[in-house]
Structure 1
Amino acid sequence: MTRIMIITGGTLGDWALEEIRADDILVGSDRGALFLIQNGHLPHISMGDFDSVTTEELALIRASSQEFIDCDPIYKDLTDTEMAFNWALDQNPSQILLVGALGTRFDHSLANVHLLRKGIAHGIPCAIMDANNLIMVIDRPTRVRKGPYTHTSLLPLSLEVTGITLHGFQYPLHQATLEIGMSLGISNILLEPEGLIEVSSGLLLVIQSKD
């Protein structure tokens, strides 16, 4: 089972390095590639327009990557992260994990969360992780592990999500419907190491967080 880990140019830190597994396929997206190399990990592939690195850093990325793909920063239609994500989907991995996909640019952060919808369409489990959050989108019954997270929040990514039933949570829901703009699913708490979220229709954003 192959996991692809995409490291992109948002907020990064030691927490991201600790998540890397020995058998991960590492994809460096723009400045995320430099982060990997500077911390002793050679990307399997680096891609992007590399407009956030210097000429010297770009030369280092090119020399240190098994495969290198660059593009014009002006005449392109996709963000660097979406380019990397599309490439990862084409490899048909068992899982895709995005790190560095959240940061100070809310537009980029939100666009990256929306990328998780593509994973649903391809039947590939995908998630975004940062130092405090684990984010995924589900459209079917899914088990979630508590791990280090204190809260689990549910938000609709489609106009509505129906048939939401929770097992193992402090605040129960039974065949509930969440619509865009509702905060009913915010800040639930897992009572056991693992819980179950059932969904009948729609796309549900599941955000596990710790303070």
Structure 2
Amino acid sequence: MNNRIIICTGGRLGDWIHSCISPGDRLIGADRGALFLVQQGYKPDLALGDFDSVTSDELALIQANSGETITYDPIDKDYTDTELAFRYALDKNPAEIRMLGALGTRFDHSLANVHLLKLALEKGIPASITDAHNTISLAEEGVTSLQHNDYSHVSLLPLSEEVTGITLRGFAYPLHEATLRIGQSLGISNILAEPVGTITVRTGTLLVIQSKD
């Protein structure tokens, strides 16, 4: 049985989301992301947020087409709507969490959403952010495998101050026991040269960005 949670939030969204959603996925819509899911013909299992970015009629539409709706006061809350959805998903201990619409014009929100991936990493739950041009995940101690797909470039950036022992296999530009520190661009725009590439990390947390123009 599928045990994956898809979170749709209010950043950049489009028809590309259909390729990211599979039968059996549990759908969570955060604020305007819930409206987008409904407008695209989906029935979110849960819609949550302060819903300050939708009209009262749009909220009524969300409520009528969602399995459950949880509303929060826009002032009396400590987390963004996306983080509320992400923490809810973590509590369900899913096999995977995927966020759609988590990148947008608000860089502060985009960066905060990238940081949420660390919460899942700490619990051993695979998590990623996907949009039309990028898929973003984290790697830390051990070996991470990447499949060759439509995202042609792979960039590695340190999320911790330093990442050591980085070894790449199956890439056009291999690394062996390399160290990346914040402020370096050594890991930008690599390419998978084989169907599967591996990233080995000894210490630290690495941001893995697969992208296409």
For normalisation by structure 2, the TM-score amounts to 0.98
> Which residue of structure 2 lines up, in the alignment, with residue 30 of structure 1?
31
Is 1:127 matched up with 2:109? no
Shift of 1:18: 2.1
Q: Deviations over 1:74-127 (max 9, x none)?
A: 111100000000000000000000000000000000000000000111100000
Partner of 2:7: 6
Structure 2 residue corresponding to 1:181, chosen from 180, 183, 186? 183
The count of aligned residue pairs is: 211
Q: Which amino acid aligns with 2:130?
A: M
Distance 1:146 1:74 in 2: 44
Alpha-carbon distance between aligned partners in 2 of 1:80 and 1:149, rounded to the nearest angstrom: 28
Alignment of 1:1-211 (within 5 A): 1-139=2-140, 140-211=142-213
Cα distance between partner residues in 2 of 1:199 and 1:172: 13
Letter in 1 for 2:168: L
Q: Secondary structure at the match of 2:191?
A: coil
| Percent identity (aligned) | 62
Moved more, 59-68 or 125-134: 59-68
Distance (whole Å) between structure 1 residues aligned to residue 166 and residue 20 of structure 2: 30
**How far apart, CA to CA, are the structure 2 residues paired with 1:146 and 1:105?**
30
SS in 1 for 2:135: strand
State the TM-score, normalizing by the size of structure 1. Answer: 0.99
The CA distance in 2 between the partners of 1:55 and 1:150, in whole Å, is 42
Unaligned runs of 5+ in 2: none
CA distance in 2, matches of 1:88, 1:202: 25
Structure 1: stretches of 5+ with no match in the other structure: none
User: Once the 2 structures are TM-superposed, how far is the Cα of residue 149 of structure 1 from its aligned partner?
Assistant: 1.3
Please give the per-residue CA displacement for 1:141-170, whole angstroms capped at 9, x wherever unaligned. Answer: 100012001110000000111110000111
Superposition RMSD on alpha carbons, in Å? 0.7
In 1: Cα distance, 2:90 partner to 2:151 partner: 28
1:123 counterpart letter in structure 2: G
